[in-house]
Structure 1
């Protein structure tokens, strides 16, 4: 008779409909949930949002110093790295951004991103 090994971790379910924490800033917000010991964020950025205009005053750094590993749900996001490299990211894209970048919404559609790494430090002093 085969035995099933005991579960070492409980099943978890969270929803961004009821985030554990929300950080709002001009033209945007990040909603956070913790699942499996990891903090996951959903960023919603409105047209006209730019990190250097709307989050830089909160972070107190010249560029965003939070690295990100993220899935782009909707909208288009421009990114400029400290070395001058520029990217345009959109729905279905997965990106890994090291620290040291600026970002902005391109066009008239809000940007929605799910961030598996870096959101816990986003828009935080």
Structure 2
């Protein structure tokens, strides 16, 4: 069966709030895209690790940064800063934090349905 659908960013399917941020989920026929809004001070290791129960983020991210600067550190030691106007591809096994006083807004087109839940830990690599 072929499907056609469109959703407005003004009407997310679900909103998941967590310390210093939120994820607005958009259900696209079983695949979930998301808009992350991360406030200044947000740090994955401090704000998300206690929630999901893993030492680093085990979610794959593929998206576009609308606002702010996001510092990312991979478990293998690689690191960098992703800035507004840039696309990103981040594999599982990373930490991230907002740099500066501007919120980070990211459109994420990887399937983020399990983000900010303990289900994320089910996909953790040893």
Query: Are 2:100 and 1:107 aligned?
Result: yes
1:16-95 to 2 correspondences below 5 Å: 16-95=9-88
Query: TM-score scaled to structure 1, two decimals?
Result: 0.89
Any gaps of 5 or more consecutive residues in structure 1? 1-7
Match of 1:5 in 2: none
TM-superposed CA distance for 1:37, in Å, is 4.1
Q: For residue 121 of structure 2, what is the aligned residue in structure 1? A: none
Q: Tell me which residue corresponds to 1:4.
A: none
What is the alpha-carbon root mean square deviation over aligned residues? 1.2
Tell me whether 1:9 sits opposite 2:2 in the alignment.
Answer: yes
Aligned counterparts of 1:41 and 1:101: Cα–Cα separation in 2: 18
- Give the TM-score of the pair, scaled to structure 2: 0.88
Gaps (5+ residues) in structure 2?
A: 119-126
How much does 1:100 deviate?
A: 0.4
Larger Rg: 1
